[in-house]
Amino acid sequence: MDSDQGKLFIGGISWETNEDRLKEYFGQYGDILQTVVMRDKLTGRPRGFGFVVFSDPSVLDAVLQEKHTIDGRTVEAKRALSREEQQTSARSGNFNQGRNSGGDGNVRTKKIFVGGLPPTLTEDGFREYFEAYGHVTDVVIMYDQNTQRPRGFGFISFDTEDAVDRVLHKNFHDLDGKSVEVKRALPKDANPGGVSRTSSGSSGGFGGYQSYGSSGGNSNSYDGRMDSNSYMRAQGTGAGFPPYGSSGYAPCYGYGPANSGVGYGSYGNYGAAGAGYGAPAGAAYGNPNAGYASGPPGAPRSSWGAQNPTGYGAMGYENAAPWGAGTGGPGSAVTAQSSTGAARYGNQGYGYGGYGGSDESYGNAGYGAAGGRSGGIPNNNAGSGGGDLQGSGGGYMGSGYGDVNGSSGYGNASWRSDSSQGSGNYGGANANGTHGGQGGYGGGYGGAQGLQAPQQ
């Protein structure tokens, strides 16, 4: 990542130190493009660190070797971590991408927010650069209302989603020798109805993802359980699962290409879960769930704990197991379990609520949304909910994720279930009755149709 080349993180600075002071001090080493002292957004009080950007990155070497005292404090200069690095290095548990996620929502605009624009950039230059990705319909560079100084960011609008995706595929772009950061622009106007529910819900924790979330709303029911349990655990154990690697899901989240593999991979787990159903996949994983599957219908569900233990369990996915059980048992039982199962999924939160979908049902289709809902109410809403969700969900996935998913992950293969109804996008996943799990998938992603029919 070259975007932050030439950028130094300066830690431990005095509260007296401001941008000008940093520039003055570090200016002795070379030309400074920019300095910034981070302050608390609300109070305006300096947070004790800042950044200095040299036009010539090679200057850093010299700077890094010396000790620096500014305004009476010995400060620490280090190479700045890119936001990306920061993200990944952060606790694995943190799915938040902070502001970055902001641009991704279920509302997809064809506009891109571009940050870090060089002050010298003209709209023509701006446009020319982005035209390489598609037809640019609008270009905007923002200026300070009072000073008329460039604010360092602007917008590019395209006429197709594809172009947007191409641009976003690369998080950083070089423009006039500096690099800029691109994000999907936040919708300027109010959110569409669906969103509200989104936000309300799961506040907790999934951060940006919530957006997808439709999950939010529904999640309530789960919230309680959402607990981190499964979640955390999953990560902890992550290590155990090589394929999925500790990298865990977290990363995945990013719809980003890079992770994709992983992300979905994880889904695989689900598949595993599927095992319960007899799906072959289980084996691969070692199949912890198997037990459940076969196990007595009612018993297991008593507690989460019980189910978790196994390898998968950890994964959280295991939850799926319950279903398995369900399958075996009487209808009623199934239902009950289902909810449980669902819940967990939801929790997983993986965002993908997709999982949720898992529940069988129905449609939960949508991402997150799915999750929550499903859990909550096994049936009905699902139906309707599904509808919408899918809509949105579909959209989502459709494009953006498309690549990411690489069909591979989902491959039917793993799930296998019956393939018949493939749902679409994902390849197949189909939801078939009982197996909610699978259904979920399908639903979520594919928008597939989950059949409710329990078949079995």
Partner DNA sequence: GTTGAGCGTT
The CB-of-280 to DNA minimum distance in angstroms stands at 44
Binding status of residue 116 toward DNA by CB under 7 A: yes
Size of the site for DNA (CB under 7 A): 51
Please report, as a single letter, which amino acid is at residue 58: S
Instruction: Please choose, out of 8-16, 232-240, 283-291, 318-326, the segment that lies near DNA by the rule CB under 7 A.
Output: 8-16
CB-based contact 350:343 (threshold 8 Å): no
Which 397-456 residues touch DNA, going by CB under 7 A? Answer: none
Task: For residue 219, give every residue at least 6 positions away whose Cβ sits within 8 Å of its Cβ, in sequence order, or none.
Answer: 201, 202, 213, 226, 346, 368, 371, 372, 375
Phi and psi for 40 in degrees, rounded to 5? -70, 135
Residue with smaller CB distance to DNA, 11 or 296: 11
Phi and psi for 52 in degrees, rounded to 5? -130, 135
Binding status of residue 143 toward DNA by CB under 7 A: yes
* Closest C-alpha to 353, from 166, 229, 162, 201: 201
- Helices 215-226 and 193-200, packing angle to 10 deg: 10
Pick the binder of DNA from 1, 2, 15, 128 (CB under 7 A).
15
CB burial readout 119-158, b (16+ within 10 A) else e: eebeeebbeebbeebbebeebebeeeeeeeebebbbbbbb
Instruction: Please choose, out of 54-62, 146-154, 347-355, 398-406, the segment that lies near DNA by the rule CB under 7 A.
Output: 146-154
| Paired strand residues for 73 | 70
CB-based contact 156:138 (threshold 8 Å): yes
Pick the binder of DNA from 20, 24, 69, 99 (CB under 7 A).
99
Which 168-207 residues touch DNA, going by CB under 7 A? Answer: 181, 183, 185-188
The CB-of-214 to DNA minimum distance in angstroms stands at 21
Residue with smaller CB distance to DNA, 180 or 293: 180
Tell me the three-class secondary structure of 336-385, residue by residue.
HHHHHHHHHHHHHCCCCCHHHHCCCCCCCCCCHHHHHHHHHCCCHHHHHH
Residue with smaller CB distance to DNA, 97 or 327: 97
Pick the binder of DNA from 35, 97, 106, 157 (CB under 7 A).
157
**Which H helix or E strand runs over 65?**
helix 59-65
Pick the binder of DNA from 33, 107, 140, 258 (CB under 7 A).
140
Binding status of residue 115 toward DNA by CB under 7 A: yes
Which 35-74 residues touch DNA, going by CB under 7 A? Answer: 36, 38, 41, 47-49, 51, 73
Residue with smaller CB distance to DNA, 99 or 170: 99
Binding status of residue 76 toward DNA by CB under 7 A: yes
Phi and psi for 424 in degrees, rounded to 5? -15, -115
| CA atoms lying within 13 Å on the CB side of residue 343 | 22
Pick the binder of DNA from 55, 58, 64, 78 (CB under 7 A).
78
The CB-of-88 to DNA minimum distance in angstroms stands at 12
Please report, as a single letter, which amino acid is at residue 10: I
Binding status of residue 330 toward DNA by CB under 7 A: no
Residues that bind DNA (CB under 7 A): 4, 7, 9, 11-12, 14-15, 36, 38, 41, 47-49, 51, 73, 76, 78-83, 86, 98-99, 102-103, 109, 111, 113, 115-116, 138, 140-145, 148, 151-153, 155, 157, 181, 183, 185-188
